[in-house]
Structure 1
Amino acid sequence: MLDWKSCVLESVDSSPSPSTTTRTDSAKNTPSPAMHPPETTAPRKFAPDASLVLVGIRGCGKRSLGFVAATALKRRFITEDHYFKEITGVTRQEYLKTHGSQEFQRRDIEVLKLMLDNHRTGCVVECGLGSLTRPVQDHLRRIVKTNPVVHLVRDIDRIQQLLGLDDQSVRLLREGDPLHRTCSNFEFYNVEDRTRIISDDGSPDPRSAAYSFKLQEVKEDLTRFVRFVTGVDVNHSSYDSPFVLLETPPELRSFTHAIFVRSSDLIADNVNLLELESGGDAIELCVDRWGPEMPNVISKQVSVLRRNARTPIILSVDTSSLTAAKGRDLSATYFDILEHALRLAVEYLVVNLGENRSQLAQIIRARGKTKIIGQHIFEASSRVKWEDDGCVSLYNEAEKLGCQLVRLLRVGTSREENASVLEFANKIRSLPGDHPPLIAYNIGRLGRTSQVFNSILTSVTHPAITRETENERDPQITSRDAVQALVQSYVLDPLKFCILGASVAYSLSPAMHNAAIQHCGLGHVYRIPDSPSLAVLDELRRDPNFGGSSVVQPWRVELYHKLAAKSRHAEAIGAINTIMPLRGTADGTMYPLQEQASRRNQAGPVLGWYGENTDWVGIMTCITRHLSPRNAISAKTTGLIIGAGGMARSAIYAMLRLGCRKIFIYNRTQSRAEEVARHFNSWAAGQVDSEEVVRVLRSLQDDWPDDASPPSLIASCVPADPDGDQPPANFEMPMQWLGSPTGGVVLELAYKPLDTPLLKQMRRIRSDNGRPWVLSDGLENVIEQGIAQFELMTGRKAPRRLMTLEVLRNYEGDSGRFDEKTIQARLDGICS
């Protein structure tokens, strides 16, 4: 094993130059924030294929997270160990043993610089111990001008525990690691995954429906981070629908809210993080203190908030509560915080328009993909009123400065000012041409009315936040308060939702959707029709308060042909599971789709139907959650679909979206399987780099085809209630089709009964041969597609844990209902 301790001692001892030596806090041993070099203010604009470079101390997770990043970006992963052997012909350990530590360090630095220079595009590059040396750090300072260089940070106590380090080594790491901030332009805090379901022997239990792989949460966190940093999927998501929340940023939707959280509240543990998953379309983290330890603290807080809320992060600074860092004035400290925020790649950064314009311009040039919100707060003593030209001038100045959004706030002194701010907002909206979205309202108790009617990213509080002292300028209404007020003032209307299908008596959708509706403050009702049939559609079309419907078999395909408009996903699948009304003006002119999306939760004449499919979203989510790194989707990955109905179509599409290009389908009636295969092969010819993505398996007795790997993605789409020529519900897999040496994921989409013959069979097989097959039962997909469907139909962020809890509490199988222990285990597994 490489003598890491001796090498890191020499590297750290020899690396800092006098100009980069850091002062450390004796209690925390963390760096002063006053060490940002000029390079980090360079524009974070890179070529689309610019390689991503990872730096950080040992134990921070470079190797495992590098693999995650490479998979997410579909790039080569270059590790220092592998490249060193490629260049020198021996391993790093062998070279050290043969040549000694001084020569090893010289050669290691030389090879590392060569590795960086020779892989500037199309790669994810892991830097090893050499990044602690001055020559490599100088080299990285040149690379940050053209490439994203990410500093990976992790709790140092956790690193000490993992590596078994002594206190001296930890001290050197504490002193050396902050130097990575001087030679990188981004930062990602590696937050530990939460505890999974544990078996009697103390290990994660793969038999549990709540089982998931280690690093699953951080894998999702880092995937979103690197895609944002590199620009992948920032301007073109995998959804392309104005109705999908992930597709349309909150500033382009109606009545969106940002949960306001102070960094001091997080430090004081005054926030129940799990509850932040709903109640806002973004999280605003307000930094209200700063000091030597705060860069790491804020980095961790941003990562923790992203993981729990799964929404964009807005970062703002409360300068009234800040004290200047040692050796820095308050203005310099303020810009240190802004620069650190850009390193964290927050989605939005609030800048005070009253600060130095030249420095603000530097921040805006260095923003990368972060959107800048130019803000000004008019104090109660200000002579500038909402109706004055000064407000319009300030808005125009923010636009000229390059802000993507403008936020103008005023400390409310009278209720009459609430009408004035609405008039000002209308004046800005009436300006000709395209301009930055405006956030404008009065703050404080007297401004609550204007807060309700502000259309985008109103700051709100949340029941999960318990502050020891109230700040009168902090938001005092919740998102639920605001939505209820909009309903009570007739801006939003109570609507009717339902489920259509042949067998919906036991549907879990009403419990799930009604709980979410009540939680969000909407006045809607979701029900099962008294006589479910397609004739109900005519009745719904005459009802201006109809809001939308879930669609289950056997009408997923039939209703597809009755639509006035559909998403490209529904078109690709050829089946739907959701219809929504398309409304229009009194003269019968239908609104465009973007406006339809903004008018959700408002009644009106129904002129036609819009069709969408969230089944594929649920299936894709379940596959992604349970797919191990060994089974990461590649050119060799094979999928298998059982069944040929609407759900089977969704499963094929989900696998295609994930990058699988070899999918086999088996159905008892071969002609239906052939029809589905023709549909997707025709679609794929114009969409993906393959003409035959789906092939038909003719018999359960056939061997697995020789020209394809055994499947590692299996989806059984046999319905709970067979219809027509669908296969029987007691399907089991032919053993000759289960040859994957690395196991894989098996999705069972039926949930009546929950423990199907297929799942029982796969548990036996897993027990007999030890292959790591991960099983996902039908309830998991019901929940995931339902969450996506709720957000689609209402435009509100779904309360995941609540909807999951309602499904688990209301599900009744052959053995009755789940007990509380089982409910909690499943809840943690699905929502953690």
Structure 2
Amino acid sequence: MLDWQSRAHEPGVPSSPPTRSISTRASSAQPTQPSEPTPARKFDTDASLVLVGIRGCGKRSLGFVAATALKRRFITEDHYFKEVTGITRHEFLKTRGSQEFQRKDIEVLKQMLDNHKSGCVIECGLGSLTRPVQDHLRHISKTNPVVHILRDIDHIQQLLGLEDQSIRLLREGDPLHRTCSNFEFYNLEDRTRIIADDGSPDPRSAAYSFKLQEVKEDLTRFVHFVTGADANQSSYDSPFALLETPPELRSYTHAIHVRSSDLIDDNVTLTELESGGDAIELCVDRWGPDMALVISQQVAVLRRNARTPIMLSIDMTSSGLGKADQSTSSYFDILEHGLRMAVEYLVVDLGQNRTQLSQIIRARGNTKIIGQHIFEASSRVKWTDEGCVTLYNEAEKVGCQIVRLLRVATSRDDNATVLEFTNKIRALPGDRAPLIAYNVGRLGRTSQVFNSILTSVTHPAITRPTENERDAQITSRDAMKALFQSYVLDPLKFCILGSSVAYSLSPPMHNGAHQHSGMSHTYKIPESPSLAILDELRRDPNFGGSSVVQPWRVELYHKLAAKSRHAEAIGAINTIMPLRGPSEGGMYSLQEQASRRNQAGPVLGWYGENTDWAGIVTCINRHLSPRNAISAKTTALVVGAGGMARSAIYAMLRLGCRKIFIYNRTLSRAEEVARHFNSWASSQVDSVDVVRVIRSTQDDWPDDANPPSLIASCVPADPDQAEPPANFEMPLQWLGSPTGGVVLELAYKPLDTPLLKQMRRIRNDTGRSWVLSDGLENVIEQGIAQWELMTGRKAPRRLMTLEVLRNYEGDNGRFDEKTIQARLDGFCS
């Protein structure tokens, strides 16, 4: 249990109250206008990222993670001080005295910021608590993202072994960082895992430990969003991929509505929130002088558990803010704090002061603003009134990216009129802001089901002692079931194609997810293994898609009407989906095809995708330690030359590795794969000869490359004549990486392959940190990505993982419950 309540009562009064400090302004009697307009949070894409915070908050570790994620130079104040002065900070203090040290420290820190305004991640030391440096940081924040790092103060005290007096000074000084930064990141502790008896960080040991694994993922997503690092990745866009298509551009998406008070009162089972919504709406319904820290922690916890975008809204009716003028001041404090946390969506009340709203919208950075108005039951405005259209237009004009209009339902007839209004907005010319429009309350449940994007929903993991009529009345599962029962969506048939699929884990994984999500689809193994079944599937209007395994990953690639850029780059697929068209002829655009998933119709062709690479990326990211972070020196090895090997190479290229070696028993196939990717890389990643062939296991590792720290064994469990069986072992001369690395074994029949057994022996003998991932992990990850691709829904990750673990049968039978639970925690933490 997270102690939200104790965090809410921590003292946090800065020695000099700042104009923009949320924790002090919320208690003032009059709303305060900022002394100058809030600067926009839009920066040059290479603007340096600056980290500030108190001792022990984790700036050094997080700075390294951020620099790795952004592929930038990392500069620490300690290193730069020595570079400028020739001696360490400690030596300078000892020889020059504290007064001269403080003067020089401030001078060097300001110089460091001025001389590295682009292409870097910069860690500021304790000088950020001095007024001259804070003034300088305010100036820097106009052109650069300055991130205030927070951490649990009790953990800092324990970590540093500080006395209460020292911790009190840190606690009082930290809020000053809010006055000179424009973003905020809460450094949430990684969940504790048990270390294996042999001390190994091996997921197969059912007890796996990896320092900074979760916070690395949290911070990577945060800095990519803040800097806009992914904004120029359009060349990889796929309209079917959930990660590349925001919820407002998909059909029937939902936001789980969680109140801040729910989290404080421990009414939410956090681990269950990972399914049942495409976003999380955190509704702030409590506020006070110390709540900013609490909300920051809540956002961090929700992001980690749900792995979805965060939408921040405010409930002014239950926040207990008191007087109207105080409420107005606190309302804009919360909005500003939402932008500081870089939430993906921020809901603003269109009835608030337009000047102040404009300042918030101007300072939004990459956050999308949702302009909202709620028509109360007492309002005379009806959905059919022209005033609703006017309000929508005004929201667009003020700069909102999305408009949300809600009405407290007074009769069931309101559900028909809101549909008329929605259709009227859709008929407006030009590209318009997406509209969220439905009725609130039990009488409005029908309109909540049929609203197309970001409907607020509740969740079984939320158990409130009393219900609020304004809160969400249906779950995502309720809405999906209703859409199928009302024939808006159709039950579709899915299957798997391949020569040896009798032991496939896809049926239980996909069918479990369908049932869990309220969808009426079925997934089966066809009776005939022949590709002739494609003709039969093409005649079935209810065909939804198919998984594809060996030996047809490459063969079906050439039968596609369209394919993703990922599949095109790999030259192999593992998924096909039907392409449909209107009754008057032609074929829908790919964007339209994506929005019509879960709807039947004549099949006009096939769309091909590959999710194997996405599963491999997830596995590598999960297990790659900061010491082995991918850099210009990173080397990888791929064993095999089939479709999975192609996916592994592509995954490594996408992660930034530019030195990849491939070994295959049949040399000509390895050379063919190398030619394919070297040709692709020359035009796509501005590199040549990214893939090189190793001819024999007797060869020494090349002198001009580091030993590999990424190894993927892609030899199949059921080999064809051109592939070796899954009994490959690594030549010892190739295992020279002093920091170990990650070994992915992609075969899972048998699960404990000779390679994994060998690597555990080598790890024990050498003490090097080789982290091992067996084939079952990738089966789960690629299957989750595939289910999301086929359905357009966010996958119930934990449920799908559980189905795989319960249905996998190895040489020694099925897993026992203890092993299942241990693996489940390792894969889904």
Matched, 1:58 2:58: no
SS at match of 1:41: coil
SS at match of 1:321: coil
SS at match of 2:617: helix
Deviation per residue, 1:231-262 (Å, 9 max, x gap): 11146368410000011111111100000000
Residue equivalent to 1:762: 759
Q: Closer, same or farther in 2 for the Cα pair 1:16/1:85, shift >3 Å?
A: farther
The residue identity in structure 2 corresponding to 1:461 is: T
Residue equivalent to 1:741: 738
Match of 1:247 among 240, 244, 249: 244
Using the alignment, how far apart are the partners of 1:128 and 1:204 within structure 2?
32
Deviation per residue, 1:101-144 (Å, 9 max, x gap): 22211211111111111111111110000011111111111111
TM-score, normalised on structure 1? 0.96
Structure 1, unaligned stretches of length 5 or more?
1-11
Residue equivalent to 1:574: 571
Match of 1:120 among 117, 120, 124: 117
Residue equivalent to 1:4: none
Residue equivalent to 1:166: 163
SS at match of 2:579: strand
Residue equivalent to 1:563: 560
Using the alignment, how far apart are the partners of 2:746 and 2:251 within structure 1?
35
> For the Cα contact (< 8 Å) 1:197–1:204, is it kept in 2?
no
The residue identity in structure 2 corresponding to 1:268 is: D
Q: Closer, same or farther in 2 for the Cα pair 1:335/1:325, shift >3 Å?
A: farther
Identity, in percent, stands at: 83
Alignment of 1:782-797 (within 5 A): 782-797=779-794
Deviation per residue, 1:282-304 (Å, 9 max, x gap): 00000001011200000000011
Using the alignment, how far apart are the partners of 1:23 and 1:250 within structure 2?
30
Deviation per residue, 1:571-618 (Å, 9 max, x gap): 110000000000012243110000000000000000000000000000
Using the alignment, how far apart are the partners of 1:475 and 1:209 within structure 2?
39
SS at match of 1:308: helix
Deviation larger for 206-215 or 367-376: 206-215
> For the Cα contact (< 8 Å) 1:198–1:205, is it kept in 2?
no
> For the Cα contact (< 8 Å) 2:630–2:656, is it kept in 1?
yes
Match of 2:663 among 651, 663, 666: 666
Residue equivalent to 1:484: 481
Matched, 1:216 2:207: no
The residue identity in structure 2 corresponding to 1:282 is: A
The residue identity in structure 2 corresponding to 1:469 is: T
SS at match of 2:242: coil
Using the alignment, how far apart are the partners of 2:759 and 2:530 within structure 1?
37
Residue equivalent to 2:258: 261
Shift of 1:468: 1.3
Deviation per residue, 1:796-816 (Å, 9 max, x gap): 100000000110111111111
Match of 2:303 among 281, 297, 306: 306
Using the alignment, how far apart are the partners of 1:473 and 1:323 within structure 2?
17
SS at match of 2:647: helix
Matched, 1:100 2:97: yes
TM-score, normalised on structure 2? 0.96
SS at match of 2:437: strand
Using the alignment, how far apart are the partners of 1:527 and 1:206 within structure 2?
30
> For the Cα contact (< 8 Å) 1:151–1:181, is it kept in 2?
yes
Matched, 1:272 2:269: yes
Deviation per residue, 1:451-490 (Å, 9 max, x gap): 1110000000000000111100101100000010000000
Q: Closer, same or farther in 2 for the Cα pair 1:376/1:498, shift >3 Å?
A: same
Shift of 1:398: 0.6
Q: Closer, same or farther in 2 for the Cα pair 1:36/1:58, shift >3 Å?
A: farther
SS at match of 2:772: strand
Residue equivalent to 1:342: 339
Residue equivalent to 1:819: 816
Deviation larger for 514-523 or 37-46: 37-46
Alignment of 1:29-40 (within 5 A): 38=35
Residue equivalent to 2:172: 175
Match of 1:88 among 80, 85, 88: 85
Residue equivalent to 2:7: none
Alignment of 1:353-432 (within 5 A): 353-432=350-429
The residue identity in structure 1 corresponding to 2:165 is: Q
Deviation per residue, 1:474-519 (Å, 9 max, x gap): 0110000001000000000000000000000000000100000001
Matched, 1:721 2:686: no
Residue equivalent to 1:69: 66
Alignment of 1:357-756 (within 5 A): 357-756=354-753
Residue equivalent to 1:226: 223
Using the alignment, how far apart are the partners of 2:421 and 2:784 within structure 1?
37
Using the alignment, how far apart are the partners of 1:827 and 1:684 within structure 2?
37
Deviation per residue, 1:62-81 (Å, 9 max, x gap): 00000011111111111000
SS at match of 1:581: strand
Using the alignment, how far apart are the partners of 1:775 and 1:624 within structure 2?
13
SS at match of 2:281: strand
SS at match of 1:320: coil
Deviation per residue, 1:739-782 (Å, 9 max, x gap): 11111110000000000000000011111111111100000000
Residue equivalent to 2:6: none
SS at match of 2:728: coil
> For the Cα contact (< 8 Å) 1:548–1:579, is it kept in 2?
yes
Matched, 1:109 2:102: no
The residue identity in structure 2 corresponding to 1:712 is: S
SS at match of 1:232: coil
Shift of 1:630: 1.0
> For the Cα contact (< 8 Å) 1:500–1:532, is it kept in 2?
yes
> For the Cα contact (< 8 Å) 2:18–2:176, is it kept in 1?
no
> For the Cα contact (< 8 Å) 1:32–1:291, is it kept in 2?
no
Using the alignment, how far apart are the partners of 2:201 and 2:636 within structure 1?
26
Residue equivalent to 2:828: 831
> For the Cα contact (< 8 Å) 2:206–2:819, is it kept in 1?
no
Shift of 1:689: 2.2
The residue identity in structure 2 corresponding to 1:688 is: V
Shift of 1:321: 1.2
Using the alignment, how far apart are the partners of 2:518 and 2:610 within structure 1?
25
Using the alignment, how far apart are the partners of 2:111 and 2:510 within structure 1?
56
SS at match of 2:276: coil
Q: Closer, same or farther in 2 for the Cα pair 1:210/1:582, shift >3 Å?
A: farther
SS at match of 1:547: strand
Using the alignment, how far apart are the partners of 2:493 and 2:361 within structure 1?
45
Q: Closer, same or farther in 2 for the Cα pair 1:432/1:548, shift >3 Å?
A: same
SS at match of 1:494: coil
Using the alignment, how far apart are the partners of 1:38 and 1:285 within structure 2?
30
The residue identity in structure 2 corresponding to 1:66 is: G
Q: Closer, same or farther in 2 for the Cα pair 1:669/1:510, shift >3 Å?
A: same
Structure 2, unaligned stretches of length 5 or more?
1-11
> For the Cα contact (< 8 Å) 1:242–1:594, is it kept in 2?
yes
> For the Cα contact (< 8 Å) 2:23–2:288, is it kept in 1?
no
Deviation per residue, 1:405-458 (Å, 9 max, x gap): 100000000001100000000000000111111100000000000111100000
Shift of 1:725: 1.3
Using the alignment, how far apart are the partners of 2:22 and 2:674 within structure 1?
65
